[in-house]
Structure 1
Amino acid sequence: MSLENQKAAFKWISILEGISFLLLLLIAMPLKYVWDMPQMVEHVGMAHGVLFILYVAACLSLVKRMNWSWIQTGLILGCSLIPFGPFYVEKRYL
């Protein structure tokens, strides 16, 4: 896969992972804990989990090709744990 295709794939994964994280935090979890409707957490949580794993794998596959330092790599991986973090990564590093 070319570097540009890999970057484009990581960009989309980053955006989708960020959206799934926000959906989980802002919609699915309040539905579960406030209105006792856990169904959305099951579906959004599964999607978010898969996207998170893809995010980490895509990041690690780009480390050498993008010449990211260990600090940059740690920051990029850490941003996946912060709401809106993947959007920052998409704008700053891709």
Structure 2
Amino acid sequence: MDIKTASALHRLRLISVPEALSFPALLIFGTLLSWLTGIDYLKMPLGMLHGILFLIYSVFLLDVWNKAKWPFKKVALFFLLSLVPFGGLYGEKLLKREEADSVMAARARREAANAA
């Protein structure tokens, strides 16, 4: 794996946790706060923050798709995980495993090239 692909995977991993937690933490909290206190002006900024995180996640996912040459099924899985509350946490776990496997494969290729 080249450095651009590794950095794209790492960026996707970094944004997946905040995006996964933004739905329950921001949207549900904002809605409950609105219902309990009658303060409606917090829902829009909290919803917008969640939307921005989702858009960043989607752009990073497309970047990984382009650079890592993932099959469509894998990209669709990560997109669907971003739609499920806390699904991005499982996606981050999968990304961590993918990143570790790719690092090990790159080291094995490098050692094989040095041994030859």
* TM-score, with structure 2 as normaliser: 0.70
Instruction: From 37, 53, 76, give the equivalent of 1:74.
Output: 76
Q: Find the counterpart in structure 1 of residue 58 from structure 2.
A: 56
Q: Find the counterpart in structure 1 of residue 13 from structure 2.
A: 11
Consecutive unaligned residues of structure 1, counting only runs of 5 or more, are none
Moved over 3 A (4+): none
Q: Find the counterpart in structure 2 of residue 40 from structure 1.
A: 42
C-alpha RMSD of matched pairs (Å): 1.8
* TM-score, with structure 1 as normaliser: 0.84
Residues matched between the structures, number? 94
CA contact (8 A) 1:23 1:44 kept: no
Superposed displacement of residue 17, structure 1: 0.9
Superposed displacement of residue 65, structure 1: 2.7
Max Rg structure: 2
Superposed displacement of residue 25, structure 1: 3.7
User: 1:10-51 deviations in whole A, cap 9, x for unaligned?
Assistant: 111111111211212431111123432223222211111111
- Residue 44 of structure 2 aligns with an amino acid whose one-letter code is E
Consecutive unaligned residues of structure 2, counting only runs of 5 or more, are 97-116
